[in-house]
Amino acid sequence: MHFDVIILGSGPGGYVASIRASQLGMKTAIIEKESLGGVCLNWGCIPTKSLLNSAKILHYIKKNGQLFGIKNDQIKIDYSQILSKSKNIVEKMRKGISFLMKKNGIHVISGNAILKKGKKIEIYKNEKNIAEYSATHIIISTGAKPKIEKKFQNNQKIITYKEALSLPHLPKKMIIIGSGAIGLEFAYFYHSMGTDVSIIEICSKLFPSGDNEISDYLKFSFEKKGIKIYTSSSIKKIFDKNEKIIVEIKSPKGDIILDANKVLYAIGITPNINNIGLEDIGIQIEKEFIYVDDNYKTNINGYYAIGDVIQTPSLAHVASHEAINCVENIKGLNCQKINYNNIPKCVYSFPEIASVGYTEIESRQKGFHIKVSKFPFNALGRAISDENTDGFVKVIFDDKYDEWLGCHMIGNNVTDLISEVVVARKLEATSYEIIGSIHPHPSLSESILESVSNAYGRSIHL
């Protein structure tokens, strides 16, 4: 059977590409070897947010229940129900994607896809070739998998985010290696559930990609909660000892030996590009990623790649926008290219982190003369009334042209607030225009207005 477009992978890149292709009148098929929705829906974005929401509710009631007149002296955790809720949400959303496939007339193919020359794709199940398809255009959106050293892959005490989502029992102690979004979110979740959590980070700061002040505040907040943090620390040895796993680290304070029931390996992801036939058709690979041009074309005509398999930020919302652009380029539409410096990056721990644009250090390194300002949530009426005053909003402007270079937030619900900044930067809004925009009172969004105002000496409440 021949299609106009076939997409490999049904994650937030793949399924969005299939829907947009169908909307544009193309005969479309999507191939998925596991479950519709890919990693994001089944093992990443969605189930982790369900777990984290349970943790936040628990944390909030324990911390503030008495203040709001809610007695909280007999709170119990039903861990199995927390997991069940997460699984139910995943199942509901998976059915939603299945409905969208049917609604848009997309042919869903189940199995392992192997690319062949001549824009042909062979489908395998249980190592048997069950079908062959062809397409005018083929989009590779096979996503990524957790990065873990081979020697640890068969050790059940060393897990990745996939296993961390559904551990049958809460471990008494957990060591997390890496403090990116995955490591931070699971550190918060398991600590909230009562697990003794330690984080090991080889870089000098927690959350290495973040603005320095955000990283410092997060470290302070996590340590205040009781999470142990070892920055500038490297792994010397990991080995089993009786029922526990031992991690020996080299830290600025000398060698330290830690023990735990589980080690979460959270040092990143690696693209799913092996065993899908890329070599057979000559698709170019650079640094483990598929090489593409600005329109997501590979070096072989008719083949495209989007999402985690290419060297752009590994984020679900990035993959979805790349999917739309890729399909619209195939159709010959004049779509806007993505500004990768205006991509919001979020961590859904508590406090949450959200950022977009340059950090303060990056701004100075690029030669900008900048205005920098912060506004703390403890000076904001809505945050005070919610008893969620941790954190701040930090803004960075170019002093010469008043360009909004970056914004970095830490606190309650900042992952929702960041969208205002993304839109403002997209529209090239200046501080003058932000200060002149009325924000509702009381609201958390006032923190953005106040922070921008403060950069120019016009903050009313600071």
CATH of the domain at 42: 3.50.50.60
Burial of 80 (0-12, 13-18, 19+ CB in 10 A): exposed
Q: Each residue of 419-436: pLDDT tens digit?
A: 999 999 999 999 999 999
Of the given ranges (26-30, 44-48, 59-63, 377-381), which has the lowest mean pLDDT? 59-63
CA-to-CA separations, 302 to 17, 143, 249, 288, in angstroms, rounded: 15, 19, 49, 21
Average pLDDT, the chain: 94
Domains held by the chain: number: 3
Supply the range of the domain harboring residue 425.
351-455
Domain boundary among 340, 370, 387: 340
75 and 128 fall within a common domain: yes
At residue 60, does pLDDT exceed 90?
A: no
Tokens standing for 434? 């932000």
In this prediction, residue 441 carries a pLDDT of: 96
Q: Each residue of 116-156: pLDDT tens digit?
A: 999 999 999 888 888 999 999 999 999 999 988 888 888 88
**Domain annotation covers residue 346:** no
**Domain annotation covers residue 460:** no
**Domain annotation covers residue 109:** yes
In this prediction, residue 263 carries a pLDDT of: 97
In this prediction, residue 367 carries a pLDDT of: 96
**Domain annotation covers residue 71:** yes
Count the neighbouring beta carbons within 10 Å of the beta carbon of residue 161: 21
At residue 64, does pLDDT exceed 80?
A: no
Of the given ranges (60-74, 175-189, 298-312), which has the lowest mean pLDDT? 60-74
Going by pLDDT thresholds of 50, 70 and 90, the confidence category of residue 55 is very high
DSSP state of 297: B
Do residues 409 and 345 touch, judged by C-beta distance below 8 A? no
Domain boundary among 340, 370, 402: 340
At residue 66, does pLDDT exceed 90?
A: no
Going by pLDDT thresholds of 50, 70 and 90, the confidence category of residue 5 is very high
167 and 124 fall within a common domain: no
276 and 138 fall within a common domain: yes
CATH number for the domain harbouring residue 393: 3.30.390.30
Element (H, E) at 114: strand 112-116
Across the range 100-112, mean pLDDT stands at 96
Q: Each residue of 384-416: pLDDT tens digit?
A: 998 899 999 999 999 999 999 999 999 999 999
73 and 35 fall within a common domain: yes
- Strands 303-305 and 128-140, sheet pairing: parallel
Q: Whole-model pTM?
A: 0.94
Q: Each residue of 271-294: pLDDT tens digit?
A: 999 999 999 999 999 989 999 999
Do residues 179 and 208 touch, judged by C-beta distance below 8 A? yes
263 and 275 fall within a common domain: no
At residue 63, does pLDDT exceed 80?
A: no
Q: Each residue of 237-277: pLDDT tens digit?
A: 999 988 899 999 999 999 999 999 999 999 989 999 999 99
**310 phi and psi, to 5 degrees?**
-115, 165
57 and 117 fall within a common domain: yes
In this prediction, residue 438 carries a pLDDT of: 96
308 and 172 fall within a common domain: no
Contacts (Cβ under 8 Å, ≥6 apart) of 325: 295, 296, 335, 336, 337, 338
Of residues 69 and 73, more confidently modeled? 69
Q: Each residue of 121-131: pLDDT tens digit?
A: 999 988 888 89
Using the Cα atoms of residue 35, residue 40, residue 46 and residue 48 in order, give the sign of their dihedral: positive
- Strands 107-110 and 28-32, sheet pairing: parallel
141 and 274 fall within a common domain: yes
Identify the active-site residue in 321, 369, 439, 441.
Answer: 441
Do residues 412 and 377 touch, judged by C-beta distance below 8 A? yes
**Domain annotation covers residue 320:** yes
At residue 192, does pLDDT exceed 80?
A: yes
- Catalytic residue status for 369: no
Domain boundary among 267, 299, 324: 267
Q: Each residue of 201-236: pLDDT tens digit?
A: 999 999 999 999 999 999 999 999 999 999 999 999
32 and 78 fall within a common domain: yes
- Strands 404-411 and 352-357, sheet pairing: antiparallel
- What is the percentage of the chain residues whose pLDDT exceeds 70? 100
Long-range contacts of 378-385 (CB under 8 A, 24+ apart): 379/450, 379/461, 379/462, 380/442, 380/444, 380/446, 380/447, 380/450, 380/461, 381/441, 381/442, 381/446, 382/442, 382/443, 382/444, 382/446, 383/411, 383/412, 383/444, 383/447, 385/442
136 and 278 fall within a common domain: yes
SS3 199: strand
Burial of 30 (0-12, 13-18, 19+ CB in 10 A): buried
**Domain annotation covers residue 442:** yes
335 and 375 fall within a common domain: no
**Domain annotation covers residue 276:** yes
**Domain annotation covers residue 325:** yes
CA-to-CA separations, 249 to 152, 231, 255, 257, 283, in angstroms, rounded: 17, 11, 6, 6, 40
247 and 286 fall within a common domain: no
